[in-house]
Structure formats: C-alpha cells, structure tokens
Chain A
C-alpha cells in the first residue's frame, strides 16, 4: 500500500458525460501528479499540483482540468468524454516535487474509466 488513495476504482459512463476522479496523497506529501495510461499512448503525464497551485502541465486536453484543495486532496475533472478517453488514470504524490528535491513519486491504485 503506497498510502495514496484514489476513488472510485472503476467508472463506466457514456460519451459526452463529465466525471470527477479523486485522489488523496500520502500524509505529508505536497505534490500531486496525474497520469493517464492507455493502450496506445502508454503512461503519460497530465498535470502536477504543488500545495494547491498548478505547477506543470503535460499532455492534458482542454476538456480535462484538475485542482488541489487546501487539505491537499486533488480532483481530476474530465468532460465531454469521448471513447478515446477510456484509460487507467493514476494519481501519484511526492513530498515536494521541486527542482533538486530527491523525491520519489508514489502511485495510487488508479481509476479505470470506461467510456461507452
């Protein structure tokens, strides 16, 4: 158990819908990362938050957004869902996530999203 929790474990929805994925980082970790794992794209970084503020963006679609709340949990919002958004979405956390910090990212169990 990494200490990172994600809910829900599975999500099945229809095209055009909106869903919210939730992540609670390890106790004491300030940085949260979101990754998408799909069959054709592999593991791709989406976005990072550090202590409530967006720190870096990767290959995140405009239909996707995220935020980190004062209690440091994070939510990833996916809207206008398409079939191609079906994937495993991971949240990871690390202590700092700052340049030079010898951080390791610990991953949650993931949320499997299926868009029908």
Chain B
C-alpha cells in the first residue's frame, strides 16, 4: 500500500522569504500523480500544484514550485516570496495512475508566515 509522509508538523517563514515543505512517499508503482493541497483557516481544500510521475520537469505555478525526485520518492514544495495569505495547512497527496479511486494524504504541515 502507498503511504505519504510529511515529517514537518510546523514550519514558519518571514514574509517575502522562501520556504520548502517536505514530502516523501512510498510506492511500488511507476506511474502516479502527486499533489499539494492548501487548507487555509476556512478549511477549504485548494489545489496548489500537481506533478505527473512520468514528467521529469518539475511543475511550477507562479510562486509555487516542486522538487520531484522520483528515485528518492521525494516531492517537496517551494514557496517563493511568501505572503501572509500563504499561511495554511499544506497536504501532500498521492494518486495512483491505475487506481483512481482516492487520494492518499500525508498528515500535513502547518505553515506560519510572519510579517
């Protein structure tokens, strides 16, 4: 069974600085998708970024980028030029290419942004 691990329960960053959130996963599959979701205090789950395992190029969405290391089974999220609105819980999630029934989530990292 696949598992997702987020080893940083909490992180903090100064406004305008850069922060990296870590995620590792375990799978025997070669094809899969990885996601980062943001959950602000409103509790809404918001998609931040997505990566296909077959793509070597790291995904980027504006200030958000990932460092996808397939061999190491690592999928970290880098937030550049951090803003107060980035403060939230961030969840890393895995979805099998073959079994598309569910997302498997990590336990989340709470990001605080200080002015």
Which residues of A approach B to under 8 Å, CB–CB?
A: 2, 31, 33, 35, 42-43, 45, 48, 55-56, 58, 88, 90, 92, 94, 96-107, 109-110, 112
With both chains docked as a complex, state the minimum distance between the C-beta of B104 and any C-beta of chain A, in angstroms: 8
Q: Are B52 and A106 in contact (CB under 8 A)?
A: no
Q: Are B107 and A42 in contact (CB under 8 A)?
A: yes
Measured CA separation A42–B108 after assembly (Å): 9
The tally of residues in B whose CB lies under 8 Å from a CB in A reads 24
A residues near B107, Cβ cutoff 8 Å: 42
Q: Are A107 and B100 in contact (CB under 8 A)?
A: no
A residues near B43, Cβ cutoff 8 Å: 88, 109-110, 112
With both chains docked as a complex, state the minimum distance between the C-beta of B97 and any C-beta of chain A, in angstroms: 6
Q: Are A45 and B101 in contact (CB under 8 A)?
A: yes
8 A Cβ contacts from B47-103 to A: 47, 50, 52, 91, 95, 97-103
Measured CA separation A42–B37 after assembly (Å): 14
B residues near A43, Cβ cutoff 8 Å: 91, 103, 105
B residues near A96, Cβ cutoff 8 Å: 100
With both chains docked as a complex, state the minimum distance between the C-beta of A110 and any C-beta of chain B, in angstroms: 6
Measured CA separation A103–B46 after assembly (Å): 15
**Nearest residue in A to B52 (C-beta to C-beta)?**
A102
A residues near B45, Cβ cutoff 8 Å: 90, 92, 107, 110
B residues near A58, Cβ cutoff 8 Å: 101-102
**Complex A-B, nearest 9 residue pairs according to Cβ-Cβ distance, in ascending order:** A56-B101, A45-B102, A107-B45, A43-B105, A48-B101, A99-B98, A97-B100, A109-B44, A42-B107
With both chains docked as a complex, state the minimum distance between the C-beta of A98 and any C-beta of chain B, in angstroms: 6
Q: Are A100 and B102 in contact (CB under 8 A)?
A: no
B residues near A94, Cβ cutoff 8 Å: 100
Q: Are A104 and B105 in contact (CB under 8 A)?
A: no
B residues near A110, Cβ cutoff 8 Å: 43-45
**Nearest residue in B to A57 (C-beta to C-beta)?**
B101
A residues near B100, Cβ cutoff 8 Å: 31, 94, 96-101, 103
